[in-house]
Structure 1
Amino acid sequence: MKKIIGWLHLWLGLASGLVVLVVALTGSLLVFEKELEPLLSPRFHYVEAPAGEARPLSMDLLARKVLQRHQPYRLYDIDIEEAPDRSVIFTLQKSKDDRLAVAVNQYTGQIIQTVDEERRFFHVVLDLHRYLCMGTAGKVITGISCSIFLVLVLTGLVLWWPRRNSRRQRLRIKWNASWKRLNWDLHAVLGFYMHIILFLIALTGLTWSYQWMNNLIFYAFDGKPAVKITPPVATPATGHHYAYMDRMLATTDSILAYRGPVRIRFAEKPGQAVTVSRQNRDAAISNVTSFLYFREGSGQLVKTRLYEAESRGMKARRVVYPIHTGSLLGWPTKILALIASLIAASLPVTGLYIWLHRKKKTSRQKVHRQDRSPLLRKDSVSFPAGI
C-alpha cells in the first residue's frame, strides 16, 4: 500500500508541481496585500492630512471631478479608508476589461494619479494566482492542481508516518547532515508541521474553483444551496438630490457605527440599487461586513443586510476568505499563512530533487549490476589459447 501511495504522491506531484509553485508564491504575496500595496505605491495611496479638524470635500463633488476628467467612463466603485491620510480610490469602467483606478485627494479634490486597473501589481498577482493569466483555462488548471495538492498533503502524511524507532528523526531537521538528507528533511518535516494549515488553505481555495464546493458550505449550514445575492430593484431618482453620496455615507455612519473601510458599489444593471458596505474592524474575526442599499440619485435607504441577520451558511462562507488568506485573526494567522505558503512553494522543488536523486541512484545501481554480470566480465570467461 505504501508503494502505491508513494507512486501516487510522486506522479501527482510532478504533474502539478509547477502550478503549485506559482500559486503558492503568488499566495504568499497576497497574504499581506493590504499592507504591501500602500507601501509599493505610496503616492497613489497616501495624502497629507491637513492639521486641525479639516473635513473632506463632498463625495459628489469629487465624483464629478473624476468623471469630467475621464469621459466616457462611468463609476464602478469608490473605496474610502478610515485613516485620514489615505486617498479615496475611484474605479471607473468603460467595459469589463477596461477599468481605471483613480486616486483623489479628498481634501483638495486633486486627482493624484490614474492607472490601468488591469496593470496594477496586485491585480496581476491575483490574476496569476487564480487564473495563471489564462482566463477560464487557467481557472480549470488551478482548480485541478488545488485538488491534487489536497491528495498530496494526505499521501505525504502517510509517507511521513514514522515507525516507533524513528519518530525523533521525522520530527526535526538535521541541519548538519548531507545535502541529500537535509533536502529530505526540508520536504518531509516542514511539510508535516504545516500539513493542517496547507490542507485548509487548499480546501478553502476550491470554493473559487467549483460551484459545488460553494454550495456544499450552504448545504452543511443552511440545508440548501447558495442563493445569488443581487442589489434590490430601486429605480434611480429623476431629479438628483444634492450630494446624495454624502447622504448615503451619513446614513452608513449612523447605522454601521464601527471602524472600518467603506465601499460604494454602483449598479451594473439599470434599475438596481447602489450598494454601500462597511467591514467591521472591531470584530473578533476578519471579513465581518454589512451592506446597505440606496436609491441612486436620492440617497434614500432601500434595504439593509446586516451581518448579524445573515444565515449560518453565509456567515460560514464569509469565514472562508480569511481562512484562505490567513487574515482570520490578524497578524498571527497571517504570519502562519505566509510561512505555510513559502513552504508549499518549496515542496515541488525539494520533491523534484528527491526524485532526480533516486532516479540517478537507480541508474547507477542498474549499471553496477550489469558490470558485475558474469557474461560481461572478461576475467570470468575462459578464452581459448592464443586469443
Structure 2
Amino acid sequence: MSVISDAPALAAAEPSALAQRLYRAIWRWHFFAGLLAVPFMISLAITGGLYLFNDEIDASLFRYRNYVAVGTAELLPSAIVEKALAAVPGGTLASYRTPAGKDRSARVTLASDAGRMLVFVDPYDGAVLDTLPANQEFNQVVEDLHSLDYFGTSWERIIEVVAGFAIVLVLTGLYLWWPRNATGGVVSVRGTPARRVFWRDVHAVTGVFASVLILFMAFSGLLWSGFWGAKVNATLTANGMGYPVELWDRVPHSMLITTDVLPKASWLMENAPVPQSTVPADGQKALPPIGLDNAVKIANAAGMLPGYELSPPSDQTGVYTAAIYPADLEYERTIHIDQYSGERLVDTAFADYPATGKAIEWCINVHKGQEWGLFNQLLMLSTSFIVIAMSVSAVVMWWKRRPKGRIGVPPAPREKRIYLGLWAIAAVFGVLFPLTGITILAMILLDQLVIRFVPPLRRIFS
C-alpha cells in the first residue's frame, strides 16, 4: 500500500521540483539582463519622455527663435540665406528649412570649419534670431542622448543590446509573474514601501500591464539601430518592401543616399539613392541652374507642406532635395529636382510606400508620440514612467534582498537539461537579434567559466 500511495506524491513532486529549478534559472537570467539594462532603461525613459514634447519645447523655451511677428511680405529664400551667411563668415549652405507657418522663422543650416551651424532668420525683415551649432540644439542633444550618439557612433550598439534585453526582460518577467497558485501580487500591490513585497509587486504588476507597450517600444526602437535596423532596412528594400525602388528606375543615380544630403530622413527613405541632374552632352548648350528661389517655388507648387527642408546640389550633377517628415504621415514626402531643368526626377510620398514600409513608418510615428496627438504623447510618456518605476523598484527590491557585501545573484540550477534548454532559446534569440545574442553568450561564458570557478567572484555574485 505504501508503494502505491507514495507513487503519486513522488510523481507530483518531481515536476514541481523541476519547475522550481527552471523558475530559478529564468530568474537568474532575468536578474543578469536587468543588471546590465537598468541604467540604460532609465536613461532611455527620461530622454524619450522629453523628446515626445520637442515641438512644445520649441514653442515655449525657444519661442524667441522659432516664432516671429507676421509681416507684410517674406524675403526670397536666397536673401534669407545671405543673411545667415553674413552671420557665419566662411559658411556654405547645407540646407534651408522653409517657415512652417506665417508666424514661423526660417532655418538655414550652414557647413563651416566649426561644424554645422543653425541660423534662425526672421523671413520678413531678415533679422538673425539665433545662431548655434547643430549638435547643441536642445532637442538634438536630447535625441543624441537617447540614442547615445552624443558619446560617439559606437555607443549606439549598446542601445541595440539594451533594446534586445528589454524584450528578454519582458518575456522572462511574464514567466516569473505567471500566477500559478498565487493570488497576491498578481494584479494588486501588497504591503507598504518598507517591505520588499511592495516593491516586488510594483515591479511585477506595472510590468504586466505595460508589457505590450514595452515590447512595442523596444522593437520599434530597434529599427533605428545601426546594425539590426540597417539589416532590416536593407532586407526589406531588396525584397521590394522598403522604399519604392521602381521610382528610381528611369533616372541616373549618384553615389549619395538621402542622409548624405539631408539633416534627417525617415527610416524608410534614409538609404534611398539620390538621383543626378542631367548634364548637357558635348556640343549641347548648357542650361543655367534654376537656383534656390526657383527650387523652392517648384517644391511649393508640388504641394510640399510648409516647413520642409531643402538641400542644394553638391556638385554639377547634384540635385535639389526637398523633404518633410511631419507628425501626419499623409504629408511625408521627398522630392528630388533637377538643378537645370527643374524637373521633379523622383517624387515619393507616404502613399507610394509598400504596405510593409507604411506599417514600419506608422510604428515609428507611434514610438515618437506623433500619431494620435496628445493621447499618443501621454501614452508613451506613461510607458516611460512605468519603465522608470520598474527599474527603480527592481533596484530597491534587489537591495532589500541581497546578502550584505554580495550581489546576490539567484543560484544557478545544476541540471544540464535546464541550461541546454535556456541556451537553445538564447541561440534562437541571438539569430533574431545578433548583438544581444553575442552579449548573452558572453554572459553565459562569464557565468560558467569565470564566476563559477573563481571562489572570490563566486562569493561576491552569490
Query: What TM-score do you get using the length of structure 2 for normalisation?
Result: 0.68
Pick aligned residue for 1:35 from 53, 56, 68: 56
Structure 2, unaligned stretches of length 5 or more? Answer: 1-21, 244-270, 280-285, 407-462
Partner of 2:217: 201
Could you tell me the percent identity over the aligned residues? 23
* Structure-1 separation of matches of 2:330 and 2:38: 31
* Structure-1 separation of matches of 2:315 and 2:147: 26
- Answer whether contact 2:312 2:320 (CA < 8 A) is retained: yes
Partner of 2:268: none
Map 1:257-296 onto structure 2 (within 5 A). Answer: 259=305, 261-268=307-314, 271-279=317-325, 283=328, 286=329, 288-296=331-339
Partner of 2:303: 256
Pick aligned residue for 1:353 from 351, 375, 396: 396
Partner of 1:48: 69
Please list the CA deviations of residues 206-234 of structure 1 after superposition, one character each: whole Å capped at 9, or x if unmatched: 12224444443675697358573122101
Shift of 1:102: 0.5
- Answer whether contact 2:236 2:242 (CA < 8 A) is retained: no
- Answer whether contact 2:97 2:108 (CA < 8 A) is retained: yes
Shift of 1:101: 0.7
* Structure-1 separation of matches of 2:132 and 2:36: 38
Shift of 1:256: 2.2
Partner of 1:368: none
Partner of 2:282: none
Pick aligned residue for 1:247 from 264, 287, 294: 294
Shift of 1:138: 1.0
* Structure-2 separation of matches of 1:14 and 1:29: 25
Q: Secondary structure at the match of 2:339?
A: coil
- Answer whether contact 2:85 2:92 (CA < 8 A) is retained: yes
- Answer whether contact 1:265 1:275 (CA < 8 A) is retained: yes
- Answer whether contact 2:30 2:173 (CA < 8 A) is retained: yes
Pick aligned residue for 1:73 from 77, 91, 98: 91
Shift of 1:249: 2.8
Shift of 1:288: 4.5
- Answer whether contact 2:276 2:317 (CA < 8 A) is retained: yes
- Answer whether contact 1:47 1:86 (CA < 8 A) is retained: yes
* Structure-1 separation of matches of 2:69 and 2:209: 45
Shift of 1:336: 0.6
Please list the CA deviations of residues 242-263 of structure 1 after superposition, one character each: whole Å capped at 9, or x if unmatched: xx43333333233226x55321
Partner of 2:37: 16
Q: Structure 1 residues 106-115 or 259-268, which shifts more?
A: 259-268
Please list the CA deviations of residues 73-108 of structure 1 after superposition, one character each: whole Å capped at 9, or x if unmatched: 11122222432111111111126x701110100011
Cα distance change of structure 1 residues 347 and 331 upon mapping to structure 2, 3 Å threshold: same
Determine if the alignment matches structure 1 residue 149 to structure 2 residue 166. Answer: yes
Map 1:88-237 onto structure 2 (within 5 A). Answer: 88-94=106-112, 98-131=115-148, 133-163=150-180, 166=183, 169-174=185-190, 178-216=194-232, 219=235, 223=239, 228-234=271-277
Shift of 1:176: 5.8
- Answer whether contact 2:223 2:232 (CA < 8 A) is retained: no
In angstroms, what is the RMSD of aligned CA positions?
Answer: 2.9
Shift of 1:200: 0.8
Cα distance change of structure 1 residues 82 and 137 upon mapping to structure 2, 3 Å threshold: closer
Q: Structure 1 residues 334-343 or 268-277, which shifts more?
A: 268-277
Cα distance change of structure 1 residues 206 and 89 upon mapping to structure 2, 3 Å threshold: same
- Answer whether contact 1:215 1:226 (CA < 8 A) is retained: no
Partner of 1:384: none
Query: What TM-score do you get using the length of structure 1 for normalisation?
Result: 0.81
- Answer whether contact 1:294 1:303 (CA < 8 A) is retained: yes
Shift of 1:273: 0.8
* Structure-1 separation of matches of 2:224 and 2:324: 23
Please list the CA deviations of residues 301-346 of structure 1 after superposition, one character each: whole Å capped at 9, or x if unmatched: 3332233223334323422421322222222111111111122133
- Answer whether contact 1:222 1:313 (CA < 8 A) is retained: no
- Answer whether contact 1:201 1:325 (CA < 8 A) is retained: no
- Answer whether contact 2:295 2:320 (CA < 8 A) is retained: no
Determine if the alignment matches structure 1 residue 324 to structure 2 residue 342. Answer: no
Matched residues, number: 352
Structure 1, unaligned stretches of length 5 or more? Answer: 364-387
- Answer whether contact 1:256 1:278 (CA < 8 A) is retained: no
Shift of 1:275: 0.7
Q: Secondary structure at the match of 2:150?
A: coil
